[in-house]
A and B are shown apart, each in its own frame.
Chain A
Amino acid sequence: MASTPQTLFDKIWQRHEVSAESAATPAVLYIDLHLVHEVTSPQAFTVLRERGLSVRRPELTLATMDHSTPTATAQVFGGAPIAVDAAARQVRELEENCRHFGVELLGLTHQQRGIVHVIGPELGLTQPGKTIVCGDSHTSTHGALGALAFGIGTTEVTHVLATQCLLQRKPRTLALNVSGRLAAGVTAKDLILAIIGRLGVAGGNGHVIEYRGETIAALDMEERMTVCNMSIEAGARAGMIAPDETTFAYLAGRPRAPAGEDWERSLVRWRELPSDRGARFDRELDIEAAAVEPMITYGTNPGMVIPIGGHIPQRPGDAAFARALEYMGLAAGEAIKEQPVDVVFIGSCTNGRLSDLRTAASVLRGRRIARGLTMLVVPGSQQVKRAAEAEGLDRVFLEAGAEWRESGCSMCIGMNGDVAGRGQYSISTSNRNFEGRQGPGVRTLLASPLTAAASAVRGRVTDPRELCATA
């Protein structure tokens, strides 16, 4: 049996089975890293209190705050009260819960605070072969380092806090083979948007995706995170990429990565993780990278996506489609390019890392954003913020007329005070264009940092390849 070729997913799953699944019961799966944030944890800690339970492995648990926290410097560091009352309560409750249960917290003013999916890899806590969960669907991000990482609900947060385990049925596997090279001006964000367009928003349901092939191997670590991040937008619980030299180089020397002899031993284990030759996936799908163009969404789910030079499709008789376009104030058959925009948001766990900020800054350097447009640049973590400032990126953004904020989820999710206005068009580098996601009535267009920055300059949906060509 030992010779049966296994996938990356199979190997990690098998090594974490406390007990395997049977017809009557799911598997008991052991969790190596549990990330906790302020929005999906309060009710879980309440259950621990009600049942008189403790946190089984506090040292495998790390809390931070990101979703409801403000990004205005005065509210984070200046002693000004958090503008949203309920958010302030949530922040206090997480502080109290972490104190009470002995969980480490990277709190509001901590130098290493940030969006939970940005700081895990950044600290070196996210490692190949680990099982990682968080009460957040974009936990799939961590799969970029060859971990099995998925989002859970609050009841499951309670389970992991109390037992370090989850009851899980084994998902199916989907190999997504990407070949060829991405063209200039086409980013990892465009690739994953194109993949979601192909799969559909439910195409990955019940599956864990392994992104494979030469295109994926050529991506750097942050690009891989962008890809895995949006796996959930295709319905998949997790996305993974085999660990390789890129992964190891990224992790080496990070504060919580293994060091010394431990590092050497880890490398040996990590090198055994990639899927074996001949390993069987439940499904396979091939994508040609060279055919991918800069992508942009036009509707109210991430599957409603087209190449930036394309036209909004026509689907007569589809009431949901018509409703989505009505919400967006767009018409079937019309071009998306040149659509005026009001707000540009650069940030989120999808595109809030240093390389994303560099990309956006490369477009904005020496330029100004269009008159009347609001642009928010929100680093994914405080470490990203400092690194960007060390390179002078903050000045590029400020001189262009954008706002430069403290880290957090910000305008990715309208619950922290950062929202756009009803009816406004927002080009956003985040991951969800659902109705109201960036505030009631806001019309979100998802795109890459390159497209978002180019559109900020012109105040209209702009193909970044054209802006750069005319520069």
Chain B
Amino acid sequence: MEPFITLTSRTVVLPAANIDTDQIIPARFLTTTTRSGLGERLFADWRYDEHGAPRAGFVLNQSAAAGCRILVAGRNFGCGSSREHAPWALIGYGFRAVISTGIADIFRNNALKNGLLPVIVEDAIAAWLMAHPGAVVTIDVSHGTLALPDGTTASFPLEPFARHCLLEGVDELGFLLAQSADIEAFERRA
């Protein structure tokens, strides 16, 4: 993985609360056996009508969405199934961060493991972002802060080990494999 240190981008706003992983990537696309190609299916049933034509009213189909790498969403984003296809689809589309007042546990874990940054903010910050779609914001991973265009900054929680992995561009598997002596010792005790 590439190191993730800072990110500056315009935002796309999806204000709905409780956007579940079946909306992010509908189950019928989970028959894939690879990680790639899911970006085109992101929010498929909101993005396309039953004939596969883009729905003009949906935010990702509007020209302002092009190139945006930060998604701002309503509370409890990513609830529901554990499918890692959800962060794969968001990343495949081009997102690198999701900002919300709440992000579901399994989705948050899955996102971090793929370099998609979950950013949990207070209500006031979320309300400002919702009211200003397309605002350019900067996320700083090492300090765990988010900067709004007017200079306001807010901090967000980031598990220290996940932060380390993001900054160094390493994954957890290497760390776990390096624990093999401890794991063997545990297996002997058990």
| Most chain A beta-carbon contacts within 10 A, residue among B83, B176, B187 | B176
Per-residue B-contact encoding for A202-215, CB less than 8 Å = 1, 0 else: 10011000000000
Per-residue A-contact encoding for B145-188, CB less than 8 Å = 1, 0 else: 00000000000000111001000000111011101101101110
A424-454 residues with Cβ-Cβ distance < 8 A to B are 432, 434-437, 440-441
Is A307 interfacial (CB-CB < 8 Å)? no
- Give the number of residue pairs across the A-B interface with Cβ within 8 Å: 171
Q: Which of B17, B26, B34, B106 contacts A237 (CB 8 A)?
A: B106
Q: Which of A158, A205, A437 contacts B104 (CB 8 A)?
A: A205
Is A471 interfacial (CB-CB < 8 Å)? no
A211 to B35, CA, bound (A): 37
* Complex interface: chain B residues within 8 A of A43 (CB): 33-35, 84
Q: Is the CB of A415 within 8 A of B183?
A: no
Q: Is the CB of A164 within 8 A of B27?
A: no
Q: Is the CB of B75 within 8 A of A84?
A: no
Q: Is the CB of B84 within 8 A of A169?
A: no
Q: Which of A51, A93, A153 contacts B82 (CB 8 A)?
A: A153
Q: Is the CB of B109 within 8 A of A156?
A: yes
A231 to B155, CA, bound (A): 30
Q: Is the CB of A163 within 8 A of B74?
A: no
A226-270 residues with Cβ-Cβ distance < 8 A to B are 232, 235, 237
Is A19 interfacial (CB-CB < 8 Å)? yes
Q: Is the CB of B183 within 8 A of A18?
A: yes
A349 to B34, CA, bound (A): 26
SS class, residues of chain A in contact with chain B: loop
Q: Which of A39, A235, A437, A441 contacts B50 (CB 8 A)?
A: A441
* Complex interface: chain B residues within 8 A of A436 (CB): 22-23, 26-27, 45
Interface size class of A (residues with CB under 8 A): 35 or more
Is B105 interfacial (CB-CB < 8 Å)? yes
Q: Is the CB of A434 within 8 A of B80?
A: yes
Q: Is the CB of A152 within 8 A of B82?
A: yes
Q: A137-B106, A163-B179, A320-B74 are in contact. Are A90 and B31 (CB under 8 A)?
A: yes
Per-residue A-contact encoding for B66-84, CB less than 8 Å = 1, 0 else: 0000000011100111111
CB distance from B172 to the nearest CB of A (A): 5
Q: Is the CB of B105 within 8 A of A39?
A: no
Is B63 interfacial (CB-CB < 8 Å)? no
Is A89 interfacial (CB-CB < 8 Å)? yes
CB distance from B180 to the nearest CB of A (A): 7
Per-residue A-contact encoding for B103-141, CB less than 8 Å = 1, 0 else: 011100110011000000000000000000000000000
